[in-house]
Amino acid sequence: MLKVDQIDVYYGNIQALKGVSLDVHQGEIVTLIGANGAGKSTLLKTLSGLLKPKQGVIQYMGESISGKPAQEIVNAGISHVPEGRRVFANMSVEENLELGAFARKDSRGIREDLHMVYELFPRLLERRKQLSGTLSGGEQQMLAMGRALMARPKLLLMDEPSMGLAPLLVKTIFQIIEEINRNGTTILLVEQNANMALSIANRAYVIETGSVVISGTAEELQASEQVKMAYLGGH
């Protein structure tokens, strides 16, 4: 579904990604793990068209999307749940969700998807008229996920969904990620909580200083001494 081949990405003169290659197959949950500043968010921003690779190719559904504008990438079926949630604070929950569907014209389908989001996140239904800026961190994370789903994506890019959330909420968010995947959406997940991410992923990539250093099935990475020492709090 997604093939990233040897991409280099720069911020000015600083190289953030060096020859990164990875694949995501339809129906999978693939997770990227690595320390802060390793390049994980940069990779997601590049996939969603917010940054442009200097080198290399990104293919989605067999076609190159390298350097395409972000709105075209959303229209092609890729949605991005950014780090830090980024909800529109002075708009209601429902207005935020409707904005997620701004590129769609099928009003009946939009209504169905709104219903589906409220079923996934009953808390948002209770709060639908409330200003998004007044929601808790966990509720804002649910809203950011719901808003991305309103574009009816085939591929969902998620950046640190558990960041700053209480452990009980983290569990809930991960259960919902699994449910979204079971409903047919492929997921590429960036997550600091490596244990949690590997527990739901099919495959994983470890990124260190802008390069992929290890890849394999989630089980292989959970069993790897190197990964245990660095990311799973193992000894």
Instruction: Return the pLDDT at 234.
Output: 63
DSSP state, 48? T
Block residue for tokens 């079971």:
182
Q: What residues are paired with 32 via a beta bridge?
A: 190, 205
| Domain around 36 | 1-77+153-235
Which tokens go with 10?
Answer: 């720069």
**Structural domain includes residue 141:** yes
> Residue 165 and residue 171: Cα distance in Å, rounded?
10
pLDDT surpassing 80 at residue 106: yes
* pLDDT, tens digit, 9 for 90 and up, residues 25-69: 999 999 999 988 899 999 999 999 999 999 999 999 999 999 899
Instruction: Return the pLDDT at 168.
Output: 86
Domain termination residue (choose one: 152, 170, 185): 152
**Structural domain includes residue 220:** yes
Instruction: Return the pLDDT at 215.
Output: 96
* pLDDT classification of 103: cutoffs 50, 70, 90: confident
* Same domain flag for 160 and 235: yes
Q: State the alpha helices, DSSP H only, in the chain.
A: 40-47, 70-76, 93-100, 107-120, 122-126, 137-149, 167-182, 194-200, 218-223, 225-231
Domain termination residue (choose one: 137, 152, 167): 152
3-state secondary structure of 53: coil
Question: How many CA atoms, within 13 angstroms, populate the side-chain half-sphere of residue 130?
Answer: 15
Instruction: Return the pLDDT at 129.
Output: 96
Contacts 24+ apart (CB under 8 A), 46-51: 46/7, 46/9, 46/17, 47/2, 47/4, 47/73, 47/78, 47/80, 47/157, 47/188, 48/73, 48/74, 48/78, 48/80, 48/157, 49/73, 50/80, 51/9
Confirm if 4 and 45 have CB atoms less than 8 A apart: no
* Same domain flag for 180 and 108: no
pLDDT surpassing 70 at residue 235: no
pLDDT surpassing 80 at residue 210: yes
> Residue 37 and residue 22: Cα distance in Å, rounded?
19
Residue 9: name the closest of 58, 63, 80 by CA: 58
Find the range with the poorest average confidence among 77-91, 178-192, 196-210. Answer: 77-91
Confirm if 4 and 58 have CB atoms less than 8 A apart: yes
* pLDDT, tens digit, 9 for 90 and up, residues 116-171: 999 999 999 999 999 999 999 889 989 999 999 999 999 999 999 988 888 888 88
Q: How many domains does the chain have?
A: 2
Instruction: Return the pLDDT at 66.
Output: 92
Confirm if 143 and 171 have CB atoms less than 8 A apart: no
pLDDT surpassing 80 at residue 192: yes
pLDDT surpassing 80 at residue 99: yes
* Same domain flag for 2 and 54: yes
Task: Provide the Cα torsion 72, 75, 77, 81; round to 10°.
Answer: 80
* Same domain flag for 132 and 161: no
